[in-house]
Structure 1
Amino acid sequence: MRFIKRHLWVIIFSVTIIAGIWEIRTMMRKEKTSLPSAKKSEFVPAEFPNKMLLTVHLDLKGAPPNFLYLKTLLPKMAAAGCDSLLIEYEDMFPYKGKLTNLSATNHYSPAQIREMIGWAHDLGMQVIPLVQSFGHLESALKLKEWAHLRELYEYPSEICPSHPDSFSLVTEMISQVMRFHRNSPYLHIGCDEVFHLNLCPKCRERALSSRALFEDHVIRLAKWLKERYPEVQPIIWDDMMRKWPAEDIINTRLAAHVVPMVWDYTSDVKYVQRVWWLYAKAFPKIWVAGAFKGAGEPRSDFPHIERRLANQRSWLELIHTSKTSHKVSGLALTGWSRFDHFAVLCELLPVAIPSLLLNLLYVKAHLGGEAPQKQRMIYREWQDSLGCPGRIIPENMNTIEGRDDLMDCIWPGVDLYKSLVAYRELKNEVKKTEHIISERQGYLTRYNAMHNFTNPKRVVEIVIERGVQSTLRQLEKLKEDIYRQLVWYTDDFTAKEWVEDRVLPLTSSLMSLNALTDALLARRDWPRRPLETNIPLYG
């Protein structure tokens, strides 16, 4: 009973915060189905600052890239216009000392981190670390040793800003990361999606509003950073400010301490226009963030290239039409690997390379104020960067023909892309078989299975017609191919996770169907109707 009351109390006090943030998450992280017309004329940016950074976000909390693969990829990114990396290490960073358990068991080594930063610097790229410091601290708060720092004990995502040990944990994490990034001009400290705020007894005792509590924590951290790293500018995600009244945004104390990174991954960023003007008035500088992958569904296999391009187009148009380009320090192309620490993998980096290169080339061209007729030049450069023998256009990439065109190219990841296209086709076959059996046929249902009662001829017809054995063999072959490819692009752990989450449910479904078929076909005589049942549903 006490547990139930506790949850009711949580719901009552957190519903406003969660509802507000979830509305943002739903509207902005999930892609819209409607797209701008492919025939829409391109805008011509009058002036964009050449010093605006064009940043690629590497989300290492899922499918961390193999270092040999990363080394082949970075030059392609640099050639397409990337001049900085935003690296979200999470548990792939090699923490040590009292933070050792923060690291995943397959974390990068210190030597690998230094080597990666060196590669980037050699290509003229700045490297910006991202360390979560408020929300999305699941990798730490899930563990017993830091569970006492949760805002609400039931939910291991947000740290309590009022607990004296919270600040020590966050600053120690940052200190260890910054030892590798002493020359970085920025540090991203996260602070997005703090779903539970001002709910624990310690926070409520302070008698502050949720806004004031949020500001206090962020400002305290920013001041600490300023004392130890005077040249480093902290960046935060903007979404926690969006529901504030206009006056509170304009007069926020955060403006003197941090730079907001305004994220919107939709095809039309008009949803952020209200806060965009307020941010431009309140903050000396702003960052923006679109996405090249990881902005669809939590289990998407491929980025929708047309929507990803429309996202950057919309961002550039907003910056241009609002005449706020002088305010924008950089544009980040985010590439999420998981929606959070506990989520399964979404779109993998190797299959998202076409989206990444296209968006880099597009933004690079328009930051220079290119004319509309240059679009064909961008597409041609994109085609060349992917090693494509023929013409490809973004509007076709979500069609069968467009995928076939991409599979003719030789970009680093195309073999995995081909395998995932085959996986999707086999998945559709399995789902169609399951639908036919459960919804359309009357011989392999749960009732038939429970009573071992069916027409053997019809069972054989269904299994043969649906090609169950052939599909199962193809899945087994595909499982081996995808595992081998993923080990090259990422690591053994990622390969096993992806196969277990995506392929094994399909093979298990067909194997269960095989077992059921064998049992039904083994019978040679059947009872008279009505069939006996032990289910107590009939009086």
Structure 2
Amino acid sequence: MTCSPWPKGKKLVHLDLKGAPPRVEHLHRLIELLSQLGADGLLVEYEDMFPYESGLQLLQATAQPAYSREEVLSMQEFAKSRGLEVIPLVQTFGHMEFVLKHRSMWHLREVPHCVGTLNPHKEEGVELVMEMLRQVVSLHPGLSTLHIGADEVYLLGEGEDSKGWLSSPGHSVEQLFLSHVTKVAKAIKETWPHLTIIMWDDMMRSMSQDTLKASGLVGLVQPMLWDYTPNLDVDKTVSLLEKYCSAGMSDLWAASSFKGSTSVYTCVTCTQRHVDNHLQWLKVSASLSAAINLRGIAITGWQRYDHLSVLCELMPVAVPSLAACIQTLVYGEFSSEAHNKVTETLGISSVEVEAMERTSAGETLFPGSGLAELIVELSRLLNSEDLRFFESNMYMRGWFSPHHQRQKIVNPLMAMQLHSQASVYLETLEKKVEALKKEMVDLYPAATTQEWIEEHVSPVMAPLQRLTEDVQACLKEMVP
């Protein structure tokens, strides 16, 4: 199928700030680039980086300072000056880990062991959500659209309050979900009648048209259907969007992905995977009936799968993927023109970050390109078989087994060979890590650098360091 460019509607880029929050100067450089590439807006998920005040101050990040009020405003003003709308995303039901992890909020969980899901029966929970929204909306002057999340509301219906509610005839988990979201949406409309409300669609996918029609949500919210897979099922997605439309929700959004959806710990982005996802979404948009008003697409870039999971790819290694995805939507395909636009704008030879080489030494390079190059180099080294399987190589298994180490009787010549190999790897890693730290300091807070190194480098370096110490200890017993 030949597709047209993305139809009328916004192309939003998702900035997930719940991990590796960029310094504001770096954010500005990213926004500048996004405007050049053809984005129309930002979907900003602040989470614990928002400067919550008063009783909500405990929600602010502690690993690094949250953005200040001035920084949040300057980001919006800069985006606006480049023609980009800013839409904040505030979770109001599921994925509330950053709120419900705090001891003083534990009583608001649906079940004690699920940190993400809010108990929908406690009025205090709705008041909490509304106060979060009030603070966010007040710090976004001129705001016209708000995203209230509501995806992946795990274990809903399993709390004691919910079990009691569900025991009444005619009550279902579907209705439980819909009643909370409707309550929040109505409260938003009463407070800010002009606001358009977007929400994730996944909790409604299995609901019937009649259930949705009767929910009270029609006319209050615009569902955003997300699918980040390269082999997205076009027919299934079209029929789902048509179902929402038939239920009275004709204003709909799509959500694709440019990073953060391959695996929970992915470190380097594969551009082709994400371009394929966008090609599928173009097929979806070309197949929709005229009754559907596709308001736009959010190109998501998850930084963590949830607040308590590890970091996904950092933004710099995903910039080529993001640029390629936007251009795929602009051209309706990833044509040679789209490819050239990306490589020329970014000053690189390939849209795959693992294969890119600089074509310019000047300032036209994309923000964070130096860090992207280092991460690719370091990842290649960390994943090399020689390094990753060092403990099972011939010398280790043959001359420095656990038995040898316990007995402290080794062949000194072989042990010295092992020590030398391990020391070379350690020295190489240490040099690259120092270079990485220098690049990261301008882009991210120190906590991000530390976390990235602890996640990716330390698990490989620590066994090598132990090995060099163990070899030295054995050699002391064997060599005069």
TM-score by length of 2: 0.91
Q: Residue 377 in 1 paired to residue 340 in 2?
A: no
Superposed counterparts of 1:41-80, under 5 Å = 43-45=2-4, 49-50=7-8, 52-80=9-37
Instruction: Give the secondary-structure state (helix, strand or coil) at the position aligned to 1:302.
Output: coil
Aligned-residue offset at 1:182: 3.9
Which amino acid counterpart does residue 94 of structure 1 have in structure 2?
P
1:211 to 174, 179, 196: 174
Q: Residue 452 in 1 paired to residue 408 in 2?
A: yes
1:195 to 154, 170, 173: 154
Q: Give the 3 Å change call, closer, same or farther, for CA 437–488 of structure 1 in structure 2.
A: farther
2:379 to 424, 431, 435: 424
Q: Give the 3 Å change call, closer, same or farther, for CA 48–505 of structure 1 in structure 2.
A: closer
- What residue is the counterpart of 1:299 in the other structure? 265
- What residue is the counterpart of 1:472 in the other structure? 426
1:461 to 417, 423, 428: 417
- What residue is the counterpart of 1:161 in the other structure? 120
Superposed counterparts of 1:78-477, under 5 Å = 78-105=35-62, 106-207=65-166, 208-245=171-208, 248-249=211-212, 252-270=215-233, 272-282=237-247, 283-323=249-289, 326-366=292-332, 375-388=335-348, 390=349, 392=350, 394=351, 397=352, 402-404=355-357, 410-427=365-382, 428=384, 429-436=386-393, 441-464=397-420, 467-477=421-431
Which amino acid counterpart does residue 443 of structure 2 have in structure 1?
Y
When structure 1 is superposed on structure 2, of 402-411 and 91-100 the one drifting more is: 402-411
Q: Give the 3 Å change call, closer, same or farther, for CA 365–325 of structure 1 in structure 2.
A: farther
- What residue is the counterpart of 1:13 in the other structure? none
Instruction: Give the secondary-structure state (helix, strand or coil) at the position aligned to 1:56.
Output: strand
Q: Give the 3 Å change call, closer, same or farther, for CA 462–406 of structure 1 in structure 2.
A: farther
Distance in 2 (CA, whole Å) between partners of 1:365 and 1:190 is 30
Aligned length: 466
Query: Percent same amino acid at aligned positions?
Result: 32
Distance in 1 (CA, whole Å) between partners of 2:107 and 2:322 is 40
- Contact 1:250/1:279 (8 A) holds in 2: no
Instruction: Give the secondary-structure state (helix, strand or coil) at the position aligned to 1:254.
Output: coil
- Contact 2:7/2:285 (8 A) holds in 1: no
Aligned-residue offset at 1:326: 4.3
Distance in 2 (CA, whole Å) between partners of 1:355 and 1:512 is 38
Distance in 1 (CA, whole Å) between partners of 2:429 and 2:478 is 32
Q: Give the 3 Å change call, closer, same or farther, for CA 254–436 of structure 1 in structure 2.
A: farther
Gaps of 5+ in 1: 1-41, 367-371, 526-539
Distance in 2 (CA, whole Å) between partners of 1:316 and 1:325 is 17
Distance in 2 (CA, whole Å) between partners of 1:99 and 1:304 is 38
- Contact 2:6/2:329 (8 A) holds in 1: no
Aligned-residue offset at 1:325: 8.3
Distance in 1 (CA, whole Å) between partners of 2:94 and 2:185 is 16
Instruction: Give the secondary-structure state (helix, strand or coil) at the position aligned to 1:269.
Output: coil
1:513 to 467, 474, 478: 467
- Contact 2:144/2:196 (8 A) holds in 1: yes
Distance in 2 (CA, whole Å) between partners of 1:485 and 1:243 is 46
Aligned-residue offset at 1:162: 0.3
Instruction: Give the secondary-structure state (helix, strand or coil) at the position aligned to 2:153.
Output: coil
When structure 1 is superposed on structure 2, of 476-485 and 186-195 the one drifting more is: 476-485
Aligned-residue offset at 1:70: 1.4
Distance in 2 (CA, whole Å) between partners of 1:101 and 1:276 is 39
Which amino acid counterpart does residue 177 of structure 2 have in structure 1?
F
- Contact 1:48/1:325 (8 A) holds in 2: no
- Contact 2:73/2:140 (8 A) holds in 1: no
